[in-house]
A and B are shown apart, each in its own frame.
Chain A
Amino acid sequence: MGLLLDIAVFVIVYYYLKSGKIPYVRRVAGLDAIEEAVGRSAEMGKPVMSTIGIDGFNYWTLAALTILDHVARDCAKKGCRILVPTGGSDSSYIVRPVAEEIVKNAYKLEGKEEDYRPEDLPFLSGQQYAYTGGVVGIIQRTKPGACIMVGGHHSEAMNIAETSNMAGALTITSGTYMGNVAVLACASDYILIGEETPAAGAYLSKDPAQRASIRCQDIYKGISIALIILGTIVLNFGSNFFIQLLSS
């Protein structure tokens, strides 16, 4: 069943990418605000801080890297300094070179290679709270215009978001874990919840086919809702058909 669902998602995404149909995609305030955040920082002459989390390579980090790509391109275009502190765990070592490459590439693609500053991408520490101290310190010293905190952030997310808020930065975060969502929603100006972070790359892309692939998520969410409702009804009639179907 799982394999069939995976194959189906592959086919649907491929279909939407190739068809070029532009389905309705709801506005995501947090993602729309990224451009505003970079523009605001550029106008104020302040840097943008973009963090990619403290995890190794998982889907949160990968999604954060796609957001970093857009932020770095936008910063390079608008002549805004971008700060990307990395680290926070042993597994974060391997993410750092990719983040560095993305920012370097962004400046290269915008034809502003000379503006790229490697010292703005410090590796702070492999320890979670040493990293947090470093990020908080950078925010307090540089007073960024915006803080875009996405990727796998754990308990340190609150320290960073609240410090960013106190520094007067426009704070955009992503609620990676259920426990983080409530507090980050209070501490941030904008928050990306659930599938909004993984969908960011396609959403921020100007390519209609890319945006259309988000439609697949809606289809699968619809299927999930239908299964939940049907499962509840069927279970109340004494059948465990859906439990057996989904655990196969």
Chain B
Amino acid sequence: MSQILRSKELNLIAMFLAFLAVFVPYFVNVPALDVFSTKLITITAITTAFTLLLAIYSQFRRGFDFVRRKPRGWIFKVYMMTAILLMLLFALGGLETGPYHWVMYAIITPLSSVNYGILAFYLASTCARAFKARNTKSILLILTSLIMLFYQAPFTGVYVNLGPLGIYLADTFVMAAGRMFLISVTVGAIVFGVRVLLGQEPSVLGIGREE
């Protein structure tokens, strides 16, 4: 049974039917198909929600393995598993507005913000490495970046009106490159989708490609 369910053919047929159920209502107005399509999306959302259990299982399996082997920092795994259990208990006990929110707003959100803030330093270190005037192209790149920098973050008290130039660069070169990127990605995604539907990309179903 498991072999049949995991077979490439069955997976492809199921995928193709699901594709038709969602794709056709975009172009053809069949109310029954619309309802079916909505139901299918709801079923997918519910199935996705169940994968949360798999995630928790995975965390505990890895956590217990760490604690058993006791490598450096194993105590953090104990904290993590305790935190998961506590959050589960708070949520199941109807304490979402109390301790659950406290953990979210007092611990998780500030820590995430710190991580986000660190981005500025990463960006600065990348820029320092990238913006070296090695040739004409990189000099042009530096000049453009300086114009955009002064346009976005002008020095207080020093009035250099780079607004029109910054807007011109953003509205012409940046927008043109952005649209080129979007067209290229869209075309790539459509062709990729067709290859998936034709069974040429079995790995997306978790089935390895025979070579």
By a beta-carbon cutoff of 8 Å, the part of chain A in contact with chain B is 2-3, 6, 9-10, 13-14, 17, 56, 59, 62-63, 65-66, 68-69, 73, 87, 90-91, 93-94, 96-98, 101-102, 105-106, 108-109, 118-119, 122-123, 126-130, 132-133, 155-156, 158-159, 162-163, 165, 175, 178, 181, 183, 186-187, 193-199, 201-202, 205-206, 210, 213-214, 216-217, 220-221, 224
Contacts and interface: CB of A to CB of B under 8 A. Distances in A.
B204 A199 contact: no
Interface in B155-211: 178, 180-185, 187-198, 200-201, 203-211
A224 B51 contact: no
Q: Which 8 A-B pairs have the closest CB atoms?
A: A195-B188, A194-B184, A101-B206, A69-B203, A186-B130, A105-B208, A198-B188, A198-B192
B15 to A, nearest CB: 11
A59 B184 CA distance: 13
Interface stretch (B30-38, B93-101, B116-124): B116-124
A102 B203 contact: yes
A183 B118 contact: no
Given A9-B191, A106-B208, A123 B123 contact: no
A197 B188 contact: yes
Contacts of A2: 26-27
B126 A183 contact: yes
Contacts, number: 175
B58 interface: yes
Given A2-B27, A87-B55, A126-B55, A158 B119 contact: yes
B29 interface: no
Given A73-B208, A158-B122, A3 B115 contact: no
Interface size band for B: 35 or more
A65 B203 CA distance: 7
A93 B54 contact: yes
Given A13-B194, A217-B188, A220-B187, 12 more contacts: A2-B26, A2-B27, A14-B194, A97-B206, A98-B204, A102-B208, A123-B55, A186-B130, A199-B191, A205-B209, A214-B191, A217-B191
A202 B184 contact: no
A93 B52 contact: yes
A66 B116 contact: no
Contacts of B210: 109
Interface in B114-145: 115-116, 118-119, 122-123, 125-127, 129-130
A113 B207 CA distance: 15
Contact of B27 (A3, A128, A165): A3
Nearest to B121: A162
A221 B184 contact: yes
9 contacts: A2-B26, A10-B194, A93-B52, A159-B119, A193-B181, A195-B185, A210-B195, A213-B194, A217-B188
Chain A CB within 10 Å, residue with most, of B26, B51, B59, B122? B122
A154 B195 CA distance: 26
Contacts of B9: none
